[in-house]
Every structure is written in C-alpha cells, then in structure tokens.
Amino acid sequence: MKNKFKVLIVENDVKIAERLTLLYHQHNFETLVINDDDGVIERVSKFKPDLILMDFIINNHNGLNCCQQIRIFSNVPIIILSAQVDHSNKHFAFECGVDDYLSNCFDDMELILRTKAILNRTEGNISFSKITIDQQKARVVCQGRKIAFSLIEYNLFNLLFTHPERIYSREQILQLAYPQYRHITDRTIDSHVKKIRNKFKEAGILDNPIESIYGSGYRFSLN
C-alpha cells in the first residue's frame, strides 16, 4: 500500500466528522471533510480520494443521491455510515454502488480494517473518468464496456491516459511506451492510435479519447 491514502468524509454531524478525522489521521490517512451535500461532486473530482465515507442523510437529503452521481464518473470506493440499519436501506445502498455499509455506532478499529481491506482490493484501479484501467490485468473499461487492446496498444493508451492533457511527441511515446520494441516507428504509432480509436467506436463509444495535436503528437483529453 502507498504511504498516505486520501479519505473524503461527507458528514454533517460535526462531532462524528471530528471523530472520523482524528481516527484516520491516527492511522496515517489524509482527510478532507464536507459538512453538506453542496459541491460534493466537484470536491470528489478535485480531491480525487482513494475512499469516500458518506453519511446516509446529509442535511435532510439522501446521501445515496450523491453516490449515484459519483458512480457516473468514478469507481472510487464508498462506505456509507447510517443510523438506519434496516435491510431495505442497505439493499438500496448496494444497488446504488456503495462498497460497504456501517452503523453510526461503529467500532473504530473495525472501520479502519474495513477501509484498509477495500483499499487493498482497489489500489491502482480507481478512476475519475468514464474510463477505468486495471493496471494489473492491462484491461481498459469504458462506460462498463471492455475495450480489447493488444499489449502494444494498451501501453500507448495507458501512457496517455495516466498523464491527461500532457502532449507526447511520437519520439517520447517510442521511448516511454515501447522501450523494448525497436521495430516500432512513427508511422506504427499513428497506426496504433487509429486502431485504438476504432476499437472505441466498435464498442459504441463515439467520444474520441485521444486527441491529435498538429505538429506535436498526441494527448488524452479530459474534455
């Protein structure tokens, strides 16, 4: 596990928020607290947490609405804390894409252990866009659809995806994505970019994930 994971705490009870902050700091986590549901989506996009701790009810609003919005663009793990522990609420929460559901009367060590267990499973596989990359399996998923890339295509796409908005020249792509493939040329890179775009189209995804920058190279655009 990396040195310091980031936890976003969405909790309108100040005392619970303070308790959670202290608890996570004691276990070497970085935290950010939001006390209402305004701006949650924007904070998730900017803070890019490794895990979200979400109150079931935020200022009289259902926190699961935020979960559903987050799931549109991210697979970041979400733990719900709730005073309502009946099965119907838990079932609905899991249908909304949460990863765990705990009572507000949680045991401190249990919460930390659950957090670490989830992070162990998801480390390196958290996305904040419609595209998710599983680094261990060299797999790309976009809007729930697996994109079948060759290893060479995957290396190219992974380089651009993990450094969004950065422009890479063809020479840089050769050095960074294909250091072991001496037979690959500038024209080969152009061919692979074309194949990557076509595979997204074949999967029914019309947005072009790779942008050509005239005279400079390619980049993965967040727009």
Helix axes 186-202, 170-177, angle to 10 degrees: 80
Strand, coil or helix: 59: coil
Q: Name the CA radius of gyration of the chain, rounded.
A: 20
Q: What is the value of pTM for the model shown? A: 0.61
**Token match 């390619």: residue?**
218
**Rounded Cα distance, 12 and 36, in Å:** 6
Residue 2 has pLDDT above 70, yes or no: no
The two counts, helices (H) then strands (E), for the chain are: 8, 12
User: Does the domain at residues 131-220 carry the CATH identifier 1.10.10.10?
Assistant: yes
Q: What is the pLDDT of residues 33-62, one digit of tens each?
A: 998 766 788 888 789 999 999 998 766 567
CA–chain centroid gap for 58, Å, is 23
Which of 16 and 136 is assigned the larger pLDDT?
16
**Rounded Cα distance, 4 and 6, in Å:** 7
Where does CATH 3.40.50.2300 sit in the chain? 6-122
Where does CATH 1.10.10.10 sit in the chain? 131-220
DSSP readout, 95-140? HTT-SEEEESS--HHHHHHHHHHHHHHHTT---SSSEEEETTTTEE
Work out the percent of the chain whose per-residue pLDDT is above 70: 95
Nearest Cα neighbor of 13 from 81, 90, 66, 64 is: 81
Residue 131 has pLDDT above 90, yes or no: no
Q: pLDDT grade, residue 70 (50/70/90)?
A: confident
Contact of 170 with 186, CB cutoff 8 Å: yes
Burial class (CB in 10 A: 0-12, 13-18, 19+), 216: exposed
CATH superfamily, region 6-122: Response regulator (3.40.50.2300)
Minimum mean pLDDT among 9-18, 76-85, 149-158: which range?
Answer: 76-85
Contact of 53 with 10, CB cutoff 8 Å: yes
